A = this chain, B = another copy of it.
Amino acid sequence: MTDALNSIFKANSVAIIGASNDPSKRGNQAIRKLRADGYGGAIFPINPKADEIMGLPAYASVLDVEGAIDLVLVCTPAKTLPAILAHCGQKGIPGAVVLAAGFSEIGAEGAEIAAATLAAARKHNVRLVGPNTNGVFNLHNRMNLVGVQDVEPGAIGICSQSGNMMLGLVTEARRRGGVGFSSYVGVGNQLDVNLAEYLRYFGDDDDTGVPLFYVEGFQDGRAFLDTCREVTQKKPVVIYKSGRTEAGQAAASSHTGSLASSFALTRGLLRQAGATVVEQSDKILSIAEGLSKMPVPAGGRVAILADGGGHATVTVDALVDSGVELARLSAATTSRLRALLPAAASCVNPVDVAGGTDNDPSVAAACAAAILADEGVDILMVVGMYGGFAARFNPALLDNEIDTSQRLARLAGEYGKPLLVQSVYAALRTRPIETLKQAGIPVFVWPEPAVRCVCELIGYARARRRNATAPLVLPDGPIAEGLEILGTIRSEGRIAFYEHEAKALLAVYGARVPGEFLAHSEDDLAGAAERLGDGPVAMKIVSRDILHKSDAGGVRLNVAGEAAMRAAFAEIMANTRAHDADADLHGVLVAPMAQPGVEIIIGVVHDPMFGPVMMFGLGGIFVEVLKDVSFRALPMSRADAHEMVCEIRAAGILDGVRGALPVNRDALVDLMMTVAHLALAHPEIAEIDLNPVILRADGYDIADARMILGREDRSRDQAPRPASC
């Protein structure tokens, strides 16, 4: 697959189907642009009605060309595609970029053409980019089939579902300067090649330092995640996902289901796969640039070197707001700085030179050297007015300042630590600023975007380490006792588990479940105390026909003593009978009341795009009102589960509030991994909801559990496996 994409992006020869002498046509513009840029390969105009196009011999068909053709750019209408692809196949052309619209996006007629086109592509072994794309470019190959002007070559590879977004990024880059692009592909309708395949290409492409994806929707999310996990071991992957506010899944029968269509799910899964998810379009480029230029830091401790003023304060605010750790400079570093700077300078982090660089900018480089040498520093931010010393104070400082820019870049390289600059003068693109950029130092106008970039760099480093060291816990096959439980449910024609069945299945996979029992009559309650201990019990109706037990009067809590239990049994049966005269009442589940603790929810759903996905959150209002939940794809690592727990906003509650002890996070993670194992071993279970689980310092109680089989059981054979690891 990557071979075909390699042929497309690195084509040594391009045929332009629908080549034209009319300068308003794409079949003319493409040739003009290739020649203007000095494309080194062969160009074959294809047009049965012309002998010559722009001075090049024209051919009636690719079959008439003598040499090999790596790529065709198809500028002709949709309906011409099947025949063209047949020719391409005959000629052995591996790839085609198809500009035409008029496929599935225009309805039934177009869908028919799309089907015929895809069938032809498959039959003739031609990979298609698009259709309905504005093209591809590879600036390192001087091949620009999009026609966008004045794009600097560089390390960012763009894959976009919107041509306008690419244009926005390229235009922004031109304004910023010092940031360029390797390749671009507009994916169009993704009739053939999908996002995961493009990601694989960019991952393997040595010219691309950072693949940057603008995504409106995934067609095969799981493959994308698997590829992303691999690629991010080599390079950062930056993703902006739009279309975040679509209406939720219409009919979901569990809390997990109703929340699982949220942007939080996509973001959680992409981050799990190591991607850098940017949430504001105006930050996409600066984050991609920063990640492409800086090394992966060893840790997350940030030092600040400021030349006075408000920018240091704003930077510290933004770092602290984002939870970034400020480096503590060693005593040795502080004394080195003291020797370099005036008495009024601050020689702890944030360092403020207090005018100490005004007359000699090179002092900034000396300070940076001292700070970068400190083992307690992972990242250095230079903030304030750097690059404006000559402009502000004395033009005679210019050479000194340009030299300082070069020294700063060299120092970053020598220490292998990320160094970035925020400067008021960045907007003016002074020569010292431009020197920094050309030497590969990212430069920002305002502090917050610089801090955002630092956060994403730290996040990438952490995710890469996590995915390299924490193995995904792959499912064993299903356990026989588990299959028996499912067999019973199926044999009774149910899809919903009874609560005690769900808990029993959890127990099979190792979860601690309460010592509950099912009472079919009041007499079954005799001796309950011996079985469950002395405390009060919870009693709940068990019925295939009653989904909302409380609403039906089918729940009694804190019932103490056999007499009260008998009364509660009678009451529950009477209530539920009154609620639904025809309900099949299977019995009443009797379980010890859970000890007080923190209520949480653990759920699993099968996302149509991403496959099995776990959700974690605090229970009750936190999930229902605040939607404070986190998501990961299954299988996941224990580290993933730990991060899910840390990621929710209210995670502090797990550390104990109002005198409570912290909950046992290891036991919680054990339970999450058990649920993950169960879900993967039984993919035919469509939804799992443990809600609530009561967490305490000494463990947990699963107070309620629900599971539902898919309407058509999923086959275990379709259970996703990671592509690697």
Which A residues have a C-beta under 8 Å from some C-beta of B? Answer: 24, 106, 160-165, 167-168, 171-172, 174-175, 214, 216, 242-245, 280-282, 308-311, 313-314, 316-318, 320-321, 344, 384-385, 394, 424-425, 427-428, 445-449, 620-621, 624-626, 649-650, 652-653, 657-658
CB distance from A321 to the nearest CB of B (A): 7
Q: How far is the CA of A280 from the CA of B245 in the complex (A)?
A: 24
A310–B448 touching, CB < 8 Å: no
User: Once the chains bind, are B165 and A311 in contact (CB under 8 Å)?
Assistant: yes
- Tell me the minimal C-beta distance from A460 to chain B in angstroms: 22
Q: B310 touching A245 by the CB < 8 A rule?
A: no
Q: Which of B214, B282, B310, B317 contacts A162 (CB 8 A)?
A: B310
Whether B427 and A165, one on each chain, are in contact in the complex, defined by CB atoms closer than 8 angstroms, is no
Can you name the residue of chain B whose Cβ is closest to the Cβ of A625?
B652
Instruction: Tell me the minimal C-beta distance from A34 to chain B in angstroms.
Output: 19
Residues A427 and B621 in contact in the complex (CB < 8 Å), given A282-B448, A626-B652:
no
Q: Which residue of B lies closest to A448 (CB)?
A: B280
- Report whether B447 and A281 are in contact in the complex, using a CB–CB cutoff of 8 Å: yes
Q: Judging by beta carbons under 8 Å apart, are A167 and B385 in contact?
A: yes
Which one of A161, A171, A657 has the greatest number of beta carbons of chain B within 10 Å?
A171
A245 touching B424, Cβ below 8 Å = no
If A164-B308, A243-B313, A245-B317 are given as contacts, then 6 extra A-B residue pairs at C-beta distance below 8 Å, sorted by A number, are: A164-B384, A171-B427, A171-B445, A244-B317, A245-B316, A625-B652
Bound-complex Cα distance A445 to B621 (A): 39
Q: Which residue of B lies closest to A148 (CB)?
A: B392
* A175 (CB) vs chain B CBs: closest residue: B427
Partner of A168, one of B174, B313, B445, B624: B445
CA distance A658 to B548 in the complex (A): 12
Q: List 21 A–B pairs whose Cβ atoms lie within 8 Å, in order of A's numbering.
A: A162-B309, A162-B310, A164-B309, A164-B310, A165-B310, A167-B424, A172-B446, A174-B427, A214-B310, A216-B310, A242-B310, A242-B314, A243-B317, A244-B317, A244-B321, A245-B321, A280-B446, A281-B448, A620-B658, A621-B650, A626-B652
Q: Cβ of B624 and Cβ of A657 under 8 Å apart? A: yes
- Residue among A310, A427, A657 facing the most chain B CB atoms (10 A cut-off): A310
A344 / chain B contacts, CB cutoff of 8 Å: 106
Is there an interface contact between B385 and A282, defined as CB atoms closer than 8 Å?
A: no
How far apart sit A91 and B175, CA to CA, in the bound complex (Å)?
52
Most buried by B among A161, A280, A318, A320: A280
Q: Is the CB of B242 within 8 A of A317?
A: yes
CB-CB nearest 4 A-B residue pairs:
A164-B309, A162-B310, A282-B446, A245-B320
A311 partner residues in chain B, CB cutoff 8 A = 162, 164-165, 168
Closest to A163 in B: B309
Bound state CA distance, A167 and B650, in angstroms?
Answer: 40
Q: How far is the CA of A199 from the CA of B280 in the complex (A)?
A: 33
User: Using Cβ atoms and an 8 Å threshold, which residues of chain B touch A314?
Assistant: 165, 242, 281
- Find out whether the CB atom of B282 lies under 8 angstroms from the CB atom of A172: no
Question: Which chain B residue shows the least CB distance to A450?
Answer: B282
Most buried by B among A164, A214, A624: A164
Kindly state the separation between the CA atoms of A168 and B24 in the bound complex, as whole angstroms.
43
Cα A384 to Cα B214 in complex, Å, equals 15
Q: How far is the CB of A665 from chain B (nearest CB, A)?
A: 16
* Across-interface contacts of A281 in B (CB, < 8 A): 314, 446-448
Shortest A528–chain B CB gap in Å is: 25
A620 to B621, CA, bound (A): 13
The CB with the most chain B CB atoms within 10 A, among A163, A317, A385, A394, is that of A317
A310–B159 Cα gap in the complex (Å)? Answer: 13
The listed residue (B163, B321, B445) touching A282 by CB distance below 8 A is: B445
Task: Give Cα A320–Cα B263 distance, bound, in whole angstroms.
Answer: 13
A163 to B388 alpha-carbon distance, docked (Å): 14
- CB-defined contacts of A428 to chain B, threshold 8 Å: 171, 174-175
